[in-house]
Amino acid sequence: MTNGRTSDIVVIGGGLIGTAVAFGLRERGLDTVLLDEGDVALRAARGNFGLVWLQSKGAGLREYTSWTRKAVDAWPGFASKLRDVTGIDVRYRRPGGYHLCLSDAERDKRAAMVARIRPGQPHDARTVMLERDELKARLPFIGPSVVGGSYNPLDGDCNSLALFRALHEAYSVRSGDYRPGQAVRRLLRGKGVYGAETAEGTWWAPKVVIAAGLGLVDLGRQIGVGPVVHPQQGQIIVTERVKPFLDVPISQIRQTPDGTLLVGDNSGGETYETPTSLSVMHHLANRAVRMIPELSDIRIVRSWVALRVLSKDGAPVYQEAPDWPGVFFFTAHSSVTLAPMHVTELSRWVADGAIDEEARAFSTARFS
């Protein structure tokens, strides 16, 4: 054991949440060590769809709607700040976003969800259901199978790999201490400090942030917290580049500014396995072509499966461990969308040593 040191805060997990929080902590001038296990599997941070999405957030937890609204409002300033600090353009755009339905049953289900969220949504950012004719007027390329859909004017997307790179770069520009290849296997208690033990050493700090994605299952157990998250497979297919025609994101299909189309419209199994499936590809491609028939001539160039990090109700969990004061655990399925809040608010809570009263709704107490 040759490594390890004492700092103000140890952040475990260099994915989307951990890196955002670590950057925020460095912005506050705190001596921060960011430990990451490494790319042993396709992490959610590298395999997601890149939506910055409000329209479906909060069906089970109203506070999730307003939290996401704050994130969406913060996004333009956040994207320019990342560009100023790192020179990286994360290609954020907010043209509004759609979700398309291919049957009456899908449309009714969507309408019921939109109705559940509606009371929590501010007037200027309400998700609305649109009939086929209205959709066709706005998106002339949709096929005859589309029966309706939903729309929110504040939805958008970004290049999520650029976002991930920008967060790491911003942390580095702010002289953050990043240690890749450090899987934390044990959490230790010392006098007024906690230790994060890896094969190479132990990193000590009075405060620890666990932002380890699915790694929270094991680390949580060590601090007396039951399973908070579970995996869910998500497969995405990527096409060859074609002339840009889709300048608004649809939750199931988006086109990047360089012409690539991404299709991702499935909820796979609750397993840690990540093989791609031909039948899922077929299902995704088939639905995409029914939504936009022109896609039938476009070639698929690759596909991947990444694991969603889901809580029981799909909403974020932000909490200080009851029996380990100073140890915080953070997880959220929509951490592209919520990145600005993770940089500013989560880092402030950790710096202050307490989670804001208004964010207490995100504790695990809601599950009991």
**Residue ranges binding ligand FAD (CB under 6 A):** 12-18, 35-38, 43-45, 47-51, 53, 183-184, 211-213, 215, 219, 234, 236, 264, 306-309, 331-337
Between residues 297 and 327, which has the closer beta carbon with respect to ligand FAD? 327
Say how many Å lie between the first and final Cα of the chain, rounded: 41
Between residues 3 and 296, which has the closer beta carbon with respect to ligand FAD? 3
Between residues 43 and 107, which has the closer beta carbon with respect to ligand FAD? 43
Between residues 94 and 333, which has the closer beta carbon with respect to ligand FAD? 333
Between residues 133 and 247, which has the closer beta carbon with respect to ligand FAD? 247
Which residue's C-beta sits nearest to ligand FAD?
15
298 burial (CB, 10 Å; 0-12 / 13-18 / 19+) is middle
CB of 97 to ligand FAD, least distance (A): 10
195 φ/ψ angles, rounded to the nearest 5 degrees: -120, 140
Between residues 268 and 293, which has the closer beta carbon with respect to ligand FAD? 268
CB of 65 to ligand FAD, least distance (A): 15
CB of 10 to ligand FAD, least distance (A): 10
CB of 340 to ligand FAD, least distance (A): 11
- Pull the structure tokens for residue 24: 């925020």
CB of 268 to ligand FAD, least distance (A): 9
CB of 214 to ligand FAD, least distance (A): 7
CB of 57 to ligand FAD, least distance (A): 9
CB of 355 to ligand FAD, least distance (A): 17
Contact, 107 vs 147, CB < 8 A? yes
Between residues 107 and 308, which has the closer beta carbon with respect to ligand FAD? 308
CB of 40 to ligand FAD, least distance (A): 7
Between residues 139 and 184, which has the closer beta carbon with respect to ligand FAD? 184
- Pull the structure tokens for residue 163: 């976002």
Sign of CA dihedral 355, 358, 362, 364: positive
- Pull the structure tokens for residue 18: 């951990």
CB of 266 to ligand FAD, least distance (A): 9
Q: What is the 3-state secondary structure (H, E, C) of the chain?
A: CCECCECCEEEECCCHHHHHHHHHHHHCCCCEEEECCCCCCCCHHHHCCCEECCCCCCCCCHHHHHHHHHHHHHHHHHHHHHHHHHCCCCCCECCCEEEEECCHHHHHHHHHHHHHHHHHCCHHHCCEEEEHHHHHHHCCCCCCCCCEEEEECCCEECCHHHHHHHHHHHHHHCCCEEECCCCCCEEEECCCCEEEECCCEEEEECEEEECCHHHHHHHHHHCCCCCCCEEEEEEEEEECCCCCCCCCCECCEEECCCCCEEECCCCCCCCCCCCCCHHHHHHHHHHHHHHCHHHHHCCEEEEEEEEEEECCCCCCEEEECCCCCCEEEEECCCCCCCHHHHHHHHHHHHHHCCCCHHHHHHCHHHHC
Between residues 60 and 293, which has the closer beta carbon with respect to ligand FAD? 60
Between residues 236 and 263, which has the closer beta carbon with respect to ligand FAD? 236
